[in-house]
Amino acid sequence: MYFYGIPLTFILSLFFISFIGLVLLRHRQIVCFIFFLIFAFSLGFFRIYIRTQNLNHRILNLPLYHSIIQADVIQNITLPDQQILTLHPTEWPLGHFKHPEKIRLYFDKIDPVIQSGDHVRLRATIWPPNKVQAPFQISQSQRLYFEKVGAIGKVETILFHYRNNHSLGFFQNLRNDITQYLFKILPENQARIATPLITGEQRFVSPKQYQNYRRSGLAHVLSVSGFHMALLAMFVFFLVRSFCVLTHLTLYINSKKLAAFTALIITAFYLGLSNFQIPALRSFGMIALVFLGILTDRKAFSLHSLILVGFVMLLWAPELLLSISFQLSFLSVFILICVHNQFKKFAPQMNKNIHHFCEFILLNIAITAGLTPLIAWHFNQFMPYALLGNICFSFIFSFGIMPLLFVGCLLMLLGCGVYFFKAAGFLLELVEQLTSYLSQWPYAEISIASFNPIALGLIILGIILICLMHFKRLWLGGIFVFTGTIWAYLTPQPVMMLLNNSVAYIQKDVFYQKRDGHDWVQNVWRQKMGYSKTLKVDLPNVIFLKGKKIALSPQSCPNADYAILSHKDSRCRIPTLTPEKNKFYLIYIIDNKIYIRIFDE
C-alpha cells in the first residue's frame, strides 16, 4: 500500500473506519475479520511510513560520472551476467559532502575474486536511486531507504582491491575455506555448483550453468533455502537417532530429544554459514518450532508455525514482504502444507509407496502452478519444463547429492571428505548434462510482458482460497484466479519510452532503442515488456505505432498525430510532448487514443 503511492489521508480514513468497525461489530465474525485485515494493513502502512521518514533522505542529488570511489565490500551478489556490489564508502569523490552509508553498484563483468569484506578502489558512475525503473514496479528509492542505500550506479573499472580476512568474520572465512577446498578436489564445473549448494554463494556459477538450472526449474537449489535446511535437519535427526540405537544409548537417554537438540544446533550453525538468507531464516524458524515442540513434548502445527514465523519476520522488517525470496518461500511452503493436509483426507487407501509417489507428483504440480504468477510478475519469464525438471532431479538432490555433501563437510576436518565430495561431483556432472539437454528444448523459456499488480494480487488471493477452502468451495478461489488472469492478459502495454536522451519503442513485435540510449534503464523496460532481444537503430523522423504517426522532428509534424520534440517549435501545431530532464515517460495507444504516464526518475 505504501510503495504504490496510496495517499496518507486515505490510509488514515481506513484506519479509523476499521477501528470503529472492530469496536461496534466485534460479535460478527466475518465482518470483524474483514475490518481486522484493513486495520492490520493500515498499521503496516504506518510502520513502513515511519521507518522510511526516519532514514536519511537522498544525499546524492546529481549523477557523478567517472568517479573514483574507495570502499569496503559489504555484500557481493553474483547473477548470471553481472555482479551487484553493496559498498560502504571510505573515500568519497565529493569530500566536502557527507557520503551515503551504503552504495549499490552493478558490474557487468563477473569477478569471482571479489568477496565480502574486501577493500576496493574503483571507477564508477553513480546517481540517486530511481523512483521507478519500469511499468508496474514499486518505488526503488523508497525500497532502498530501508537498506540505507543512498546511491546506485555502474562500475566501469576496478582499479585494485585487497582482502582483509580479519574483517570477514568466522562464517565468511569458513565459507571461503569450504570454497577453496571444493575447487581443489573437484573439477571446476562441478565445484561451481557444489559451492552454492553448501554455502549459498552463487558468484562462481557460470551464466550458462545458471541458465540451464533456471530453465529446468532448479534455480532454487543454487541458494540455501528451506530445501537445504529441511534436508540437513532430517539428515542429522536420523543420524543421531540411529547412532543412539546402535550404541544402546536409548536405554539411558531420550534419543528423540537428543536428536532434536543436536539437529537444532547444527541447523542454527548452517543458518550462519548461509549468511542468514530469507528462505533459510523462514525454514529455520519452522524447524526450530518443530524441534522445540519435541523437546517440550508439544506438537508443532505446520501451518501455525509458518504464520508465526512470517509474523515475527514482518514485525522485525516489514519491507521483507516485497522480497521475491520471502514471497516465493512462504507461498511454496503454504501450498505444500495445505495440499499435503488435503491429500491425506481425500486420497483413497492405497499402497504406502504409491501414496507417497502420487503425493510427490501432486505437490510438485501444485507448487509449480502456484509460484508461476509470482515468477512471471517479478522475472517476466515462464519455464514450461520446470515441473519436469523438479520431478526428475529432486530425488537425485534429496537422496544423493545433498547427503553426500553434508557428510563430506562433516568429515572435511578429518581429511576423509574427499570421497564423498567426489561422489557428489559425479552426480552433479550427470545433472549438469541432463539440465543442459533439457534447456535446449524448444520454448524452454517464454517471455511474459508486465501486468498490473492488482491482477497479481487477485491471482494469489485465489490460490490461497483454493488451498484453504474445502473441496466443494474451490470454485470461489477459481473465480479470483480467472479474474486476475484475464485482468493480467488485458493489461495495456506502452509502445514507447522516453528518458532524457533515451528513446525506445515497439513496432511489429520488435523492440527498438536509440543507438546511444540509456542501456541500463531500457534493458529493464525491455525485459518488463517481454522482449528478449533489442535492435539498436538511429531514430527515424517519423514512427508509426498502432495506426498513429508520431513525429520526432518539426519537419515531420504535417499529417502527424503527435510530436515528441526536444524543444517547442512554432512549425509544429499538433499536440506536442517536450520531455523534461530526469522524467520517465511511458506512451500508450488505447482505443486509437494516445495516453502518457509520467514518473520522476
Q: Are residues 465 and 547 in the same domain?
A: no
0.75 exceeded by pTM: yes
160: helix, strand or coil: strand
Say if residues 507 and 492 touch (Cβ distance below 8 Å).
no
Q: Are residues 592 and 502 in the same domain?
A: yes
* The last residue of a domain, from among 489, 517, 550: 489
Q: Are residues 69 and 158 in the same domain?
A: yes
Q: Per the domain annotation, does 422 fall within a domain?
A: no
Question: What are the pLDDT digits (tens) for 430-441?
Answer: 988 988 888 888
Q: Are residues 535 and 556 in the same domain?
A: yes
Averaged pLDDT, 494-515: 78
| Measured distance CA(72)–CA(88) in Å, rounded | 5
Q: Are residues 483 and 503 in the same domain?
A: no
| Measured distance CA(551)–CA(564) in Å, rounded | 6
**Could you tell me how many residues make up the chain?**
601
Supply 237's cell numbers.
Answer: 535427526
Question: What are the pLDDT digits (tens) for 393-435?
Answer: 888 888 888 888 888 887 876 777 788 888 888 998 898 898 8
Q: Give the number of other Cβ atoms within 10 Å of residue 308's Cβ.
A: 15
Q: Which residues contact 419 (CB under 8 A, 6 or more apart)?
A: none
Closest CA to 491 of 576, 371, 376: 376
Supply 542's cell numbers.
Answer: 517519423
The answer on pLDDT for 58 being more than 60 is no
Question: What are the pLDDT digits (tens) for 311-332?
Answer: 888 877 777 887 788 888 888 8
* CA atoms lying within 13 Å on the CB side of residue 21: 18
Q: Per the domain annotation, does 381 fall within a domain?
A: no
Report CA-CA distances (Å) from 309 to 37, 264, 268: 18, 16, 15
Q: Residue 352's pLDDT is what? A: 72
Q: Are residues 484 and 539 in the same domain?
A: no
93: helix, strand or coil: coil
Q: Are residues 83 and 133 in the same domain?
A: yes
**Residue 459 — pLDDT band, cuts 50, 70, 90?**
very high
The answer on pLDDT for 55 being more than 60 is no
Question: What are the pLDDT digits (tens) for 342-386?
Answer: 877 776 666 777 777 788 888 888 888 888 898 888 888 888 888
| Measured distance CA(596)–CA(250) in Å, rounded | 73
Pairing of strands 562-564, 576-577: parallel
Q: Are residues 68 and 155 in the same domain?
A: yes
Q: Per the domain annotation, does 550 fall within a domain?
A: yes
The answer on pLDDT for 282 being more than 60 is yes
Q: Are residues 82 and 145 in the same domain?
A: yes
**Residue 301 — pLDDT band, cuts 50, 70, 90?**
low
Q: Residue 54's pLDDT is what? A: 57
Residue 95: φ, ψ to 5° = -60, -30
Q: Per the domain annotation, does 305 fall within a domain?
A: no
DSSP assigned state of 554: G
Residue 215: φ, ψ to 5° = -65, -25
Averaged pLDDT, 103-117: 77
By CB atoms closer than 10 A (0-12, 13-18, 19+), residue 184 is: exposed
Q: Are residues 37 and 123 in the same domain?
A: no
For the chain, give the mean pLDDT: 80
Amino acid, single-letter form, for residue 233: A
153: helix, strand or coil: strand
The answer on pLDDT for 53 being more than 70 is no
Q: Per the domain annotation, does 440 fall within a domain?
A: no
Question: What are the pLDDT digits (tens) for 71-106?
Answer: 888 877 776 667 888 888 888 777 666 677 888 888
Q: List the beta bridge partners of residue 594.
A: 589
Residue the block writes with cell 549459498: 200
In the chain, DSSP finds a helix count (H) and a strand count (E) of: 18, 17
Q: Residue 519's pLDDT is what? A: 65
Q: Are residues 483 and 533 in the same domain?
A: no
Q: Residue 484's pLDDT is what? A: 92
* The last residue of a domain, from among 124, 151, 167: 167
Q: Per the domain annotation, does 309 fall within a domain?
A: no
Q: Which residues contact 333 (CB under 8 A, 6 or more apart)?
A: 226, 282, 286, 306
Closest CA to 599 of 513, 525, 509: 525
The answer on pLDDT for 482 being more than 90 is yes
* The last residue of a domain, from among 20, 35, 54: 54
Domain that holds residue 525: 496-600
Q: Residue 522's pLDDT is what? A: 65
Q: List the beta bridge partners of residue 600.
A: 583
Q: Are residues 548 and 569 in the same domain?
A: yes
Q: Which residues contact 388 (CB under 8 A, 6 or more apart)?
A: 216, 217, 438
Question: What are the pLDDT digits (tens) for 203-250?
Answer: 778 878 888 888 888 887 877 777 778 888 888 888 888 888 777 777
Using left for φ > 0, alpha for ψ between -120 and 50, and beta otherwise, residue 467 falls in: alpha
Closest CA to 436 of 215, 204, 195: 215
Q: Helix-strand-coil percent breakdown of the chain, rounded to 5?
A: 55, 15, 30
Say if residues 90 and 80 touch (Cβ distance below 8 Å).
no
Supply 439's cell numbers.
Answer: 534447456
| Measured distance CA(232)–CA(142) in Å, rounded | 37
Say if residues 153 and 108 touch (Cβ distance below 8 Å).
no
Q: Residue 278's pLDDT is what? A: 77
Render the burial of 75-101: b for 16+ CB within 10 Å, e for the rest. ebebebebbebbbebeebbeeeeebbe
Say if residues 401 and 435 touch (Cβ distance below 8 Å).
no
The count of structural domains within the chain is 4
The answer on pLDDT for 478 being more than 70 is yes
